[in-house]
Structure 1
Amino acid sequence: MRDLDALFEALARSTFRSKFHLQDKDLAYLHTKGLPTVIVHAGDFIAKRLAPAVLKNDGKQTPFRGHPVFVAQHATACCCRGCLEKWHRIPKGRALTPDEEAYVLKVLERWLHNEMNKLA
């Protein structure tokens, strides 16, 4: 797992990752539900779609839209096990540990918080 400051600096330099931002509908959802509730949703998504050792559709399990967390996952390279390995140094082929799941949630929460504050 990476230092978050170093990770976010690297993500900012990625043309692909830096193009993701929350649109009006997702920002409204985030403001209405609140960041703590959206992070609970993120925990559920991570547990079901990212944490298992073997994923039926790894690399395609995270939609690009439909929930602020999905956008955050792509923006932070927390969208599939391949990206977790490449960007976060979390190996594929085994279930995520509780510490790794907590780390992914911290990454997503930081990105979502930053998005909320850009327009505040």
Structure 2
Amino acid sequence: MADDDRRRDARALDRRLDALARQPFRARFHLRGRERATAESKGPATIRWHAYDLVARRLAPAEPYKDGKQTPYRGHPVFVAQHATATCCRGCLRRWHGIPQGRELTRAEHAYVVDVICRWIEREMAGGAGRGPARG
């Protein structure tokens, strides 16, 4: 992929994340405490691998186990990011990202979901730790 295409994709992700951040429910989520420390200590490459694995197990199947309730609110930076980015269940993927329910995610869709999650975490880590008392 050319650098211009990467920049265009990053801008499109940022626009999507900015729109999601304007939603009151999604705006409550930030990396704090243990989740922030995990993201700092593991680093972006390991967190990306975790995101890929978690999405593969919990979101990619055509009918995920306990869909709509399968993503915890805390415990890992990817879980927090999934709620902030509406990549937490197949209903949110359909509603916010146009990815249909009832079939397995394609490789491209899986990669897109991981990119969304990791871009949100990247932006959170760049934004500093002082985000007030709201919990996600």
Q: 1:16-35 counterparts in 2 under 5 A?
A: 16-35=25-44
User: What percentage of aligned pairs have identical amino acids?
Assistant: 57
Structure 1 residue 26 displacement after superposition: 1.1
| Correspondence for 2:19 | 10
- TM-score, structure 1 length as denominator? 0.94
How many corresponding residue pairs?
A: 118
**1:19-45 Cα shifts (integer Å, max 9, x gaps):** 100112111111111011011011000
Specify which of 96, 100, 108 is matched with residue 109 of structure 2. Answer: 100
Alignment equivalent of 1:36, drawn from 45, 64, 70:
45
- 1:46-79 per-position Cα deviation (integer Å, ceiling 9, x unaligned): 0000000012310000000010000000000000
Q: Does 1:91 align with 2:100?
A: yes
Q: Distance in 2 between matches of 1:115 and 1:12?
A: 12
- Equivalent in 68, 73, 76 of residue 82 of structure 2: 73
Structure 1: 5+ residue stretches without partners: none
Residues in 1 aligned to 2:72 and 2:107: alpha-carbon distance in whole angstroms: 24
Give the counterpart of 1:63 among 49, 65, 72: 72
Q: Secondary structure at the match of 2:93?
A: helix
Bigger-Rg structure (1/2): 2
Q: Name stretches of at least 5 consecutive residues in structure 2 with no aligned partner.
A: 1-11, 130-136
2:133 aligned residue: none
Q: What is the distance in 1 between the residues matched to 2:52 and 2:18?
A: 24
Other structure's SS at 1:34 match: helix
Structure-1 separation of matches of 2:35 and 2:48:
14
